[in-house]
Amino acid sequence: MLLGEEVVIIQKIKCPNHKCGRRIFDIGITRFRIIVELKCPHCGEVVRVYWKPKEKKNIHR
């Protein structure tokens, strides 16, 4: 859980090097945002990047 929201991991990306195979980043979604979680290959620090999708406006004519 992240800030009380349920996070659904939709993609786990691994290193393409067959000798390594470590997870390099995850893509997750919540109800309100998309989260990409990146892990530094040198120190292991995790960085999260958020995107809030633009809301569609209903146009009434």
Cross-strand pairs, 27 = 11, 36
Q: What is the pLDDT of residues 8-53, one digit of tens each?
A: 878 888 877 788 787 878 888 888 888 888 877 777 787 788 778 7
Q: Which domain holds residue 36?
A: 8-51
Residue 58 placed within a domain: no
Answer yes or no: pTM beyond 0.85: no
Residue 19 placed within a domain: yes
How high is the pLDDT of residue 1? Answer: 42
Dig out the tokens for 43 from the structure.
């120190």
Residue 3 region by backbone torsions, left for phi larger than 0, else alpha for psi between -120 and 50, else beta: left
Phi, psi of 39 (to 5 degrees): -115, 125
**How sure is the predictor about 55, in pLDDT bands with cuts at 50, 70 and 90?**
low
Do 38 and 49 touch, CB atoms closer than 8 A?
Answer: yes
Residue 40 placed within a domain: yes
Residue 57 placed within a domain: no
How high is the pLDDT of residue 9? Answer: 78
